[in-house]
Homo-oligomer: A and B are copies of this chain.
């Protein structure tokens, strides 16, 4: 059986757990407390030298890290995978957008404001720009969703899962989604998919 090393509050980990739930794949969950440095031990670094969850141990004993890579691997040949070359390109476009232009602002603001007891002076100084860039990412999503039900090919898939993970908890980072009606409608649409589980759901 596969083993997922993860931290339940992580949106990146949630992407993997959501895919595993949708596909009905069994796995063992090993929780690692990132706040206590449990992903920086020699034992963990042997699984992922970059010291991050989620990390998935495959059936053959090898490890795969980076949420986007793990969900791509897991969904190959399934209904969640993009169906042709163009859709694969567009799906990866939104997945890289999420990791580069969305997560570093929305997820990091959430971590700072929701999980840290106090911001450092650098974080205090950096926060306004993080918030502005997070709102910019939400604006790009809002515009795209204005005439679409899902991100790629009008079909629920990996791009939706990648973007849902931190957008649905953006409020914990202090983001107000009132001005993003299409994002809100899409969030509800994703949460209503058969097989959906919440971020704190244990398998």
Contact = CB atoms under 8 A, between A and B. Distances in A.
Nearest to A63: B93
A93 to B, nearest CB: 4
Give the size category of A's interface with B. 35 or more
A140 B70 contact: no
A64 interface: yes
B96 A73 contact: no
Contact of A68 (B64, B70, B92): B92
Interface in A83-131: 85-86, 88-93, 95-97, 99-101, 103-104, 121-122, 125-126, 129
A73 B95 CA distance: 14
Interface in A114-173: 121-122, 125-126, 129, 140, 143-144
A180 to B, nearest CB: 14
A96 B129 CA distance: 23
A49 interface: yes
A192 to B, nearest CB: 26
A89 B101 contact: no
Nearest to A55: B93
Given A99-B100, A122-B125, 15 more contacts: A49-B140, A50-B101, A52-B101, A64-B89, A66-B92, A68-B92, A68-B96, A73-B89, A76-B88, A99-B99, A100-B103, A104-B104, A121-B125, A125-B125, A126-B126
5 contacts: A50-B101, A68-B92, A69-B91, A70-B93, A100-B103
